[in-house]
Amino acid sequence: MRKIVIAGNWKMHKTQAESLEFLQAFMPELEKDVEEREVILCAPYTALGVLSQNLHGSRVQLSAQNIHWEEAGAYTGEISGAMLTEMGVSYAIVGHSERRQYFCETDETVNWRALAAQRHGLTPILCIGESKQQRDAGETETVIANQLKAGLVNLDLTRLIIAYEPIWAIGTGETCGASEANRVIGLIRSQLDNPDVPIQYGGSVKPSNIDEIMAQPEIDGVLVGGASVDPANFARIVHYQ
């Protein structure tokens, strides 16, 4: 049975005070929810501690937006698995396209990060997706297959989430059509040895398209950027119909 996972990726948004303001508005909305859907906030590192204290005992889980592959060392600006688990974090995004694009992360380092997450008992949210140029050149399927093959080396498929995020649909307002997202996600599933890995769609998910996206049989949840920083919008997405 595949889990439904709705995750909000705040990216580089929200101070600690702003994160608490978000919770004040968001948590009462969530209490109305009766269905079992995993809800995750992927907050900046600086907000994870205060969020963790305030979410204790709630059903909302926390995710980091990255994780380093080493246990400790001279890696200025990076964060380790132990630092995250100490704060009550249970997930870590790895391989987000913004990390791949702006910070030179490769399939290999993304795989190391995912392995480090699992070593620390965190569930990696592995992001994959093609660029506009690759899509236009008819390379979507090959790009996805290559990212998967390299990203999944030695990973435990029972403790993993995959997010299909076509790069051209991220932060652009241009959503991938729900049926096309469904097709690619089906393709991803066909390449996994475990059919129960939850596979999310990400890229311009918002209250106006969430119902159609979640109606697709292959899509097990969403990774939401822009629309997740607003509590009412994110609550509406969690409560998709």
Which parts of this chain interact with ligand PGA (CB under 6 A)? Answer: 9, 165, 170-171, 202-205, 223-227
- Measured from the CB atom, the residue of 30 and 40 that comes closer to ligand PGA is 40
Asked if residue 10 lies in contact with residue 44, where contact means CB atoms within 8 angstroms, the answer is yes
Please, what is the minimum distance in Å from the beta carbon of residue 209 to ligand PGA? 10
Burial class of residue 210 (count of CB atoms within 10 Å of its CB; 0-12, 13-18, 19+): buried
Placement of tokens 């987000």 in the chain:
96
Structure-token pair, residue 155: 């990973």
- Measured from the CB atom, the residue of 62 and 227 that comes closer to ligand PGA is 227
Whole-number Å distance between alpha carbons of 124 and 23: 24
- Measured from the CB atom, the residue of 9 and 147 that comes closer to ligand PGA is 9
Catalytic (active site) residue 174:
no
What percent of the residues of the chain are helix, what percent strand, and what percent coil, each to the nearest 5?
Answer: 40, 15, 45
Catalytic (active site) residue 105:
no
- Measured from the CB atom, the residue of 9 and 134 that comes closer to ligand PGA is 9
Closest-CB residue for ligand PGA? 225
- Measured from the CB atom, the residue of 165 and 220 that comes closer to ligand PGA is 165
- Alpha helices (H) in the chain, listed in sequence order: 16-31, 45-55, 81-86, 97-102, 107-119, 132-136, 140-151, 178-190, 210-214, 231-238
Asked if residue 130 lies in contact with residue 164, where contact means CB atoms within 8 angstroms, the answer is no
Please, what is the minimum distance in Å from the beta carbon of residue 204 to ligand PGA? 4
Please, what is the minimum distance in Å from the beta carbon of residue 1 to ligand PGA? 25
Whole-number Å distance between alpha carbons of 159 and 173: 31
Whole-number Å distance between alpha carbons of 233 and 220: 19
Please, what is the minimum distance in Å from the beta carbon of residue 72 to ligand PGA? 28
Please, what is the minimum distance in Å from the beta carbon of residue 39 to ligand PGA? 15
Catalytic: which of 96, 98, 105, 239? Answer: 96
Catalytic: which of 38, 98, 105, 165? Answer: 165
Nearest to 238 by CA among 77, 29, 98: 29
Q: Would you name the residues annotated as active-site residues?
A: 96, 165
